[in-house]
Amino acid sequence: MYKKIKVVLVILFVIILIGAFFWLEKNQKLAVKQEAPTKKDIAQTVSQVLAERKVLPKEKIKELRLERLSNFQGIEGLNETDQYVEEKAVQENSNQITSSQISNYQTFVTPKDAAVMSLAQGKTYQQIYQAALKWVWVEDEIINGTAEKWLYPNFFLTQTPSLATNPVLGRVASDCESQAYTLVSALRAAGMPADNVRVVTGKVNFGGTVGGHAWVEVYDEKAGWFQLEATSGDYYDSQSKKLVSSAGIDYDYFKNYQYPSVVKWTMFNDQYFFDLTRGQGVAPEVWFDEETIKKQDDPAKITYQLPDALKKMREERANSLREELLKMDKKEFQEKINLLKNKKTVTDGVAITGENFNSEQITNQILSVINQLEQAIIQGATAEQKAAFQKAAAEGLAKANQMLAASTQLSAEEKAKIQAMLDEAETLLENGISQVQLLVLKKEALAFLDQLEKDIQSGEIKNKLNEKRGQLQR
């Protein structure tokens, strides 16, 4: 048992060190806010719900003409949208990002706007969504005269009904992005926590056609993330030139059916922003669910480069946010490690295969690495520190491989599993690690510490220690 623990802990060191080096080297901006630990039964329920979601019926797509959302591509594309929002939209509009925001995307979520608050006042989340279904979906080309035009919620709610270009005068109308971030604005105004709601841009596949789109995702503790599709309501048919009434998709519909997203580019609200493709931003850990991580687009597709001034501003404004969130994130690691250190059952030294092993030394090492990691990320790292991280990671990887090869305590299946982890670590060391990958690895590390804590509390480790001691004495 201890041999296994030691091997896995060495791997944990490697993961942390590799993650630290590439995090600093690539100057990425991920900071995560650690939520209270999710209970195992809740996690299993969410996983089961996701697995049981059915494929969106073709009949539903046909009934609501949802293929229009893919065909007309309300969001042009990854690069085109980034350039529009981060450069052109800033020139067209007066809204400026606040000191607690790091992207112009966030300026389009305005929960404190008077028109938004009026919409949300006295309504439940479901009632706000029902009101959103009455907004009319109209192509940007028709109502705005251009392929990409983002309207601030106030303008969308108060001015579009009287626009001369509005084919359904008297009705609030525009394309998908305006409806998505206005809906999020209203939900936030009604009290929905920023951690639990986001606008998502990316690609969807409604009826066989893939196109750019913007939609809303809401987090439910039992169901996980599910989607709201405001554009499933009334829409303007540009071919028949008529307004088509549609009941739209129910609030809870995508708790039971799969939303047909293909890739996700950005996630944001007024408080958080994360660029999944670049791996940059500030967002709570709950935003990095398995389904979202799988929907990352290929970074090689990025052709638009953010202006230097914007990159500098993003970095400067993210510093205080990143520091605060990293401190919160580090806390759970410390709590778990301190629990381990206080358990006398694992501080006994025991000889296994000729090596002296002391669990308290191991936990102290982990805590030291985490402390160094946080300090380096917050304060920056010198070239010497970066080189030291890389060297330590390479040495740790080599040591772990040696231990695995020499181990007589692991089954062939266990060896194969750990070897796969080491191979992955080696690949990451060679090719770099994305921040989402780092988050996944961190979650795995926390899960390991959770299990170790349970073994300690149940006395299982002490029993196995005594068993191993007896075997060695014989």
Question: What is the DSSP track for 207-275?
Answer: TTEEEEEEEEEEEETTTEEEEE-GGGSSEEETTTTEEE------TTGGGTB---EEEEEEEE-SS-EEE
Least confident of 295-299, 396-400, 435-439, 458-462: 435-439
Question: Which residue has better confidence, 447 or 345?
Answer: 447
For the residues 341-363, what does the mean pLDDT come to?
Answer: 43
Rounded to 5°, angle at Cα 329 from 51 and 228: 40
**What ranges do the domains of the chain cover?**
2-33+318-473, 40-283
Q: pLDDT at position 75, please? A: 79
pLDDT in tens, 150-191: 999 999 999 999 999 999 999 999 999 999 999 999 999 999
Rounded Cα–Cα distance for residues 198 and 455 (Å): 38
pLDDT at 19: 45
Measured distance CA(167)–CA(160) in Å, rounded: 10
CB 309 within 8 A of CB 466: no
Query: 293: pLDDT confidence band, cut at 50, 70 and 90?
Result: confident
In sign, the C-alpha dihedral spanning 100, 106, 107, 109 is negative
pLDDT of residue 431: 52
Between 134 and 474, residue with greater pLDDT: 134
